[in-house]
Chain A
Amino acid sequence: MSEREFHPLVKQLLDGDVTLADLPAELRAEGEEALLILGAVDRRPVQLGDFTARVMAQVVERPRRTFWRRVLEPREIRVSVRPWLLVPALAAAAALVLWLGRSGPAASSSPALVTVRFVLSAPDAHAVSVAGTFNQWNANATPLVRTGDGLWTATLTLPAGEHQYAFVVDGARWVPDPAAPAVDDGFGRRNSVLTL
């Protein structure tokens, strides 16, 4: 074990599973060093002042979403994935689909286009792509780019309407969105549904 790593029993001490007295004598000093970390944790509350009034002032200024606001304003749809569906090393993951805006006026004969950004937090993944009805479910067609802190992003311009999609992690794991609307693909898999 490296000098830099705590002994597993010391980690159990930090987790609260054992006490310092449970440690063998040779680990007591390391245990005391570890407990200094917890002693330095800052649990003081953050003073927010008239925070609620400020939030409500912003809320009051925002009319309830009308049809045209929904169509014309950017909006964000949160998507989360369950990491235990992924490779074990894949840490907490979450994705955003951000509606960036429409390009051009809606024409009666052709659907409007909407720019959408897919963002997935998958810090331990080696490759992430998005596959869906917009790219014929091709897992190689739309790779996401790693931007830092384990985030992966791709920006697409899609026709307004309904699209189904899933993230593909490390080329093998298909990850639907359990929080968003989903449909059965008929093959035992769930696809996420994005309505633009």
Chain B
Amino acid sequence: MRLETGSDGEIVRAVLAGDRDRFAILVERYRDRYARYAARMLGSADEAEDAVQDAFVRAYDQLGQCKEPDKFVGWFFLILRNRCFAERRRNRTSAPIEAAEAVAAADRTDGGAESADRRRALQLALLELTPDQREVFVLKHVEGLSYGEIAERLSTSVPSLKMRMHRAYDRLREQLREQR
């Protein structure tokens, strides 16, 4: 891997001009952040990895359609988001069980049983939200974005996001109580 810097826009333009290897810089730059987003959206680290990989390959294929190279990451996020929504639609019946098992397996080597149980319960409850509710929860409370930043990324308004999030809080409370 070449240690190289440059703005997203510069890299996108270089890749489009034929310097294919520089696409790896964008992958390195954003892979971890978006793998976590995908993992929380899909409830499975394996599915998340596949989704992020597909999204990067698709972004490469369609790079010419990235109208604002300096905003590559926002454009990439929307490709990944569509991929995650479609994946959840295909797998929604089996994913919660896989998710719980994946979380439980990861926790065996990381942290106490009580916190592992709470994480597992929340992950299951998150998967019972609508994708839109789950997404705003993940972006705010996992990724740490503000409502303003989420609104910009999803091209929506802060009040509508808050409404969605507040419904998510109520639904999570309901789900977590049912799990007890």
Binding site for B on A (CB under 8 A): 4-6, 8, 10-11, 14-15, 33-34, 36-48, 51-52, 54-56, 58-60, 62, 64-65, 75-78, 80-84, 88, 91-92, 94, 96, 121, 123, 147-151, 178-179
CB pair B155 A4 closer than 8 Å: no
Question: B67 an interface residue at 8 Å Cβ cutoff?
Answer: yes
Distance of A54 Cα from B110 Cα, bound (Å): 27
Nearest-Cβ distance from residue B87 to partner chain A, whole angstroms: 10
Q: Can you add 8 more A-B contacts, CB < 8 Å, to A43-B36, A83-B155? A: A33-B173, A36-B118, A40-B115, A44-B110, A52-B27, A52-B31, A58-B53, A80-B155
Classify the secondary structure of B's interface with A: helix
Question: B3 an interface residue at 8 Å Cβ cutoff?
Answer: no
Distance of A111 Cα from B88 Cα, bound (Å): 37
Of the candidates B18, B39, B130, B155, which one forms a contact with A46 in the assembled complex, judged by CB atoms under 8 Å apart? B39
**B contact residues, total (Cβ < 8 Å):** 70
- Contacts A62-B57, A62-B60 given: A11-B166 contact, CB under 8 Å? yes
Question: B12 an interface residue at 8 Å Cβ cutoff?
Answer: no
CB pair A149 B141 closer than 8 Å: no
A55 contacts which chain B residues (CB < 8 A)?
A: 24, 27, 31, 53, 56-57
What are the 4 tightest A-B residue pairs by CB atom distance, in nearest-first order?
A40-B118, A40-B122, A46-B35, A91-B132
User: Which chain A residue shows the least CB distance to B146?
Assistant: A16
B56 contacts which chain A residues (CB < 8 A)?
A: 55, 59
Question: B65 an interface residue at 8 Å Cβ cutoff?
Answer: yes
Question: B119 an interface residue at 8 Å Cβ cutoff?
Answer: yes
Question: B13 an interface residue at 8 Å Cβ cutoff?
Answer: no
Nearest-Cβ distance from residue B179 to partner chain A, whole angstroms: 12
Nearest-Cβ distance from residue B139 to partner chain A, whole angstroms: 11
Q: List 24 A-B contacts (CB under 8 A).
A: A4-B177, A6-B166, A14-B169, A37-B173, A39-B118, A41-B141, A41-B142, A45-B36, A46-B45, A47-B45, A48-B32, A51-B52, A55-B27, A58-B53, A62-B57, A64-B18, A76-B62, A77-B65, A83-B157, A91-B130, A92-B156, A94-B82, A149-B88, A179-B67
CB pair A51 B169 closer than 8 Å: no
CB pair A46 B61 closer than 8 Å: no
Nearest-Cβ distance from residue B18 to partner chain A, whole angstroms: 8
- Contacts A75-B62, A92-B156 given: A56-B24 contact, CB under 8 Å? yes
- Contacts A46-B48, A88-B160, A92-B135 given: A56-B21 contact, CB under 8 Å? yes
CB pair B89 A147 closer than 8 Å: yes
Distance of A10 Cα from B172 Cα, bound (Å): 14
Q: Which of B54-113 contact A (CB under 8 A)?
A: 56-58, 60-62, 64-65, 67, 78-79, 81-82, 85-86, 88-89, 92, 103, 106, 110
Distance of A41 Cα from B36 Cα, bound (Å): 12
CB pair B49 A51 closer than 8 Å: yes
Nearest-Cβ distance from residue B46 to partner chain A, whole angstroms: 10
CB pair A91 B160 closer than 8 Å: yes
Distance of A123 Cα from B130 Cα, bound (Å): 9
CB pair A46 B142 closer than 8 Å: no
User: Which chain A residue shows the least CB distance to B88?
Assistant: A149
- Contacts A6-B173, A83-B160 given: A76-B32 contact, CB under 8 Å? no
B110 contacts which chain A residues (CB < 8 A)?
A: 44
CB pair A59 B173 closer than 8 Å: no
CB pair A48 B169 closer than 8 Å: no
CB pair B78 A40 closer than 8 Å: no
A34 contacts which chain B residues (CB < 8 A)?
A: 169, 173
